[in-house]
Amino acid sequence: MTSDPRLERNVRLLASIKRGLPRLRELLDKTNTQWCYEDGIYRFYHQSFKVYGLQSYTIEIVNVLGALADGPLNDDFLAIIADGTGKTFEHSHNDDWLRHTRPIVEAFFHAHYFLTMVVKYGMELEEPPSLLPSGWATVLSFYGQR
């Protein structure tokens, strides 16, 4: 270990990601399927109440990623998740579809993005880099380490 606390936290985070890679990759595969990613977004554009099903995937991703954390997740991310989860379909939502469902899709996209970046850099990196690729820098921001 080094004497730099920030680097030590980054080393611990990367080690935690690497330990979790089997579960993370499994979840990424699950959320990349036709019946999650593809169908969920289609349901948004088709104005189907089934878009509300994306919320369960979003929450699962947040829980898995959150378990890797050494502290709280990014506040902006948590606000997006709060706005896009806990929603129950009502027929009146059809009258203002975007207002009710766009936050669900947005929350899923953000959660899926972070899952993708965590898996990517967990597989690629052997140690935290000194020159940060954008995706890894975003992961560090997500975990409050940048």
Give the model confidence (pLDDT) of 82-138 as tens digits.
999 999 999 999 999 999 999 999 999 999 999 999 999 999 999 999 899 999 999
Confidence label for 1 from pLDDT (cuts 50, 70 and 90): very low
| Residue appearing with tokens 């560090």 | 140
Q: Looking at residues 17-39, what average pLDDT do you find?
A: 97
Q: What residue type is assigned to position 69 of the chain? A: A
**Quick one: CA dihedral 87, 64, 12, 32, positive or negative?**
negative
Domains in the chain: boundaries:
5-142
CB atoms closer than 10 angstroms to residue 28: 18
Taking CA 15 as the corner, what is the angle to CA 143 and CA 85, rounded to the nearest 5 degrees?
35
Average pLDDT, the chain: 96
